């Protein structure tokens, strides 16, 4: 089970004193926060991508590359990478580059983005969001897996004999999650590739996400990547803690009431009841998040939104201490209990390399077996070549391939 933080990179005034950090300060703070995420023993730091203020994170691989150099174990991810408006060729190159520099500590979450003007700013049409996400990812998936790609699609210039560079580390592309708030097409896409599916889970009632994740799990099984139980699921979450639960409520309320996304709307009390936001003692957060698997099944990744809505960096770092010291160690224990052995852990570069090697070894054994059988029966070799072509290690034919997938509308990206 992987735990981490996802940031939407908003630069927001602190409503308690009306001060706003400069972009420079906020950008330096995000590095501090990411380092702290590793220091307190969490696994993942994911950063959003935006092309409009008040967000700073237009260039996630620059930031993540810098964080990679400042950390040792932290898995770096995105929340989300805009698969609609970015050129998939550039995504393939940027993230393969990052993957090398970070020694494989990289995965991505694909999202469509819901800021209308960003689409035309990048020459796209928001009404084609889903077709863009589907086609662009299909190309990205091939660029990381095939040396020379010939491509013709609806949305970008054709490619003839194009080789994306650098090639993915160890020949294994970064794992991909697809995020979606409500589109079954994206759940279907994630299931088709055997990729992960991330449910933001922050804004909507859990019943909605239970349906969406249930759908993804059943389609994951349908496409032959494993059982529904083995599908790769990530959830978003949100918490604010103090030793004493009433202190947490009092401290967080002004930030909640003025938050860019849900401020001036529902009461804190209604919102905590209707969504996973938990404001209280560490024990309350443990109880809430230990129960998630009852609704969504055993899952692989839990990310928390922590630095947003103008919370000062000092407060964010304190919250990370609560998470790392009081909450996550207990959650790791509780979520490991009664977790079926067949449910995989969250994918890492090492696990993907191991899975690839195992699949190749299986394929090689299978080929030998078929060759033996063919030899015994005096076959003219037709069976051999058929078996080889079935088992030459193509990722699509490997049932345990975790491939990659991406796309999620994230925290700030409601549809």
Which residues here bind another protein, judged by CB under 8 A? Answer: 131, 134-135, 138-139, 151-155, 184-185, 187-189, 191-193, 203-205, 208, 211-212, 215, 261-262, 264-266, 270-271, 274, 414-415
| d(C-alpha 3, C-alpha 37), whole Å | 10
Q: Which is nearer to another protein, 75 or 186 (CB)?
A: 186
How distant, in Å, are the alpha carbons of 177, 329, 389 from that of 107?
8, 23, 30
How far apart are CB 192 and another protein at their closest, in Å? 4
Report the Cα–Cα distance between both ends of the chain, in Å, rounded: 28
Q: Is the dihedral of CA 340, 342, 346, 348 positive or negative?
A: positive
How far apart are CB 94 and another protein at their closest, in Å? 22
How far apart are CB 26 and another protein at their closest, in Å? 25
- Residues forming beta bridges with residue 179, ordered by sequence position: 198
Q: Which is nearer to another protein, 27 or 210 (CB)?
A: 210
CA-atom Rg of the chain in angstroms:
22
Q: Identify which of 10, 2, 1 has the alpha carbon closest to the alpha carbon of residue 305.
A: 10
Q: Is the dihedral of CA 361, 365, 370, 372 positive or negative?
A: positive
Inter-residue contact 5 to 42 (CB < 8 Å) = yes
Q: Angle at which helices 206-222 and 184-193 pack, to 10 degrees?
A: 40
Inter-residue contact 111 to 74 (CB < 8 Å) = no
Q: Which is nearer to another protein, 68 or 186 (CB)?
A: 186
Q: Which is nearer to another protein, 119 or 193 (CB)?
A: 193
Q: What is the DSSP string of 283-341?
A: HHHHHHHHTHHHHH-S-SEEEEE-S-TT--HHHHHHHHHIIIIIIHHHHHHHHHTT--T
How far apart are CB 366 and another protein at their closest, in Å? 26
Q: Which is nearer to another protein, 21 or 226 (CB)?
A: 226
How far apart are CB 230 and another protein at their closest, in Å? 19
How far apart are CB 193 and another protein at their closest, in Å? 7
How far apart are CB 45 and another protein at their closest, in Å? 26
Q: Which is nearer to another protein, 128 or 384 (CB)?
A: 128
**In which region does residue 77 sit, left (phi positive, over 0), alpha (psi from -120 to 50) or beta (all else)?**
beta
Q: Which is nearer to another protein, 51 or 208 (CB)?
A: 208
How far apart are CB 207 and another protein at their closest, in Å? 9
| d(C-alpha 151, C-alpha 157), whole Å | 9
Q: Which is nearer to another protein, 151 or 299 (CB)?
A: 151
| d(C-alpha 120, C-alpha 378), whole Å | 63
């Amino acid at each position: 089970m992987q735990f981490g933080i996802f940031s939407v990179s908003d630069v927001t005034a602190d409503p308690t004193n009306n001060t706003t950090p400069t972009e420079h300060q906020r950008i330096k703070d995000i590095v501090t926060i990411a380092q702290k995420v590793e220091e307190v023993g969490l696994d993942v730091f994911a950063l959003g991508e935006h092309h409009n203020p008040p967000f700073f994170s237009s260039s996630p691989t620059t930031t993540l590359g810098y964080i990679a150099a400042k950390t040792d174990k932290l898995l770096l991810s995105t929340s989300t990478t805009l698969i609609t408006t970015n050129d998939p060729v550039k995504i393939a190159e940027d993230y393969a580059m990052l993957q090398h520099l970070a020694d494989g500590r990289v995965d991505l979450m694909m999202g469509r983005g819901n800021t209308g003007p960003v689409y035309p700013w990048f020459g796209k049409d928001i009404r084609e969001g889903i077709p863009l996400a589907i086609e662009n990812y299909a190309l990205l998936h091939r660029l990381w897996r095939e040396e020379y790609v010939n491509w013709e699609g609806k949305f970008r210039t054709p490619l003839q004999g194009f080789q994306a560079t650098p090639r993915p580390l160890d020949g294994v592309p970064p794992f991909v999650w697809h995020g979606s708030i409500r589109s079954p097409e994206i759940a279907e896409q994630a299931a088709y590739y055997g990729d992960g599916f991330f449910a933001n889970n922050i804004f909507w009632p859990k019943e909605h996400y239970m349906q969406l994740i249930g759908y993804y799990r059943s389609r994951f099984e349908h496409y032959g990547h494993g059982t529904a139980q083995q599908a790769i699921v990530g959830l978003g979450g949100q918490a604010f803690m103090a030793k004493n639960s009433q202190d947490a409520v009092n401290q967080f309320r002004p930030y909640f009431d003025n938050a860019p996304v849900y401020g001036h709307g529902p009461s804190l009390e209604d919102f905590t009841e209707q969504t996973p936001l938990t404001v209280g003692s560490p024990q309350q957060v443990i109880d809430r998040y230990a129960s998630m698997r009852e609704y969504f099944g055993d899952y692989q990744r839990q990310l928390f939104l922590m630095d947003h809505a103008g919370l000062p960096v000092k407060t964010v770092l304190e919250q990370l201490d609560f998470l790392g010291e009081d909450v996550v160690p207990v959650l790791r224990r509780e979520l490991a209990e009664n977790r079926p052995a067949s449910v995989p852990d969250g994918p890492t570069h090492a696990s993907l390399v191991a899975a690839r090697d195992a699949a190749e070894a299986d394929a090689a054994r299978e080929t030998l077996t078929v060759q033996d059988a063919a030899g015994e029966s005096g076959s003219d070799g037709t069976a051999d070549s058929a078996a080889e072509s079935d088992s030459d290690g193509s990722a699509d034919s490997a049932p345990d391939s975790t491939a990659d997938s991406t796309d999620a509308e994230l925290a700030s990206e409601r549809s």
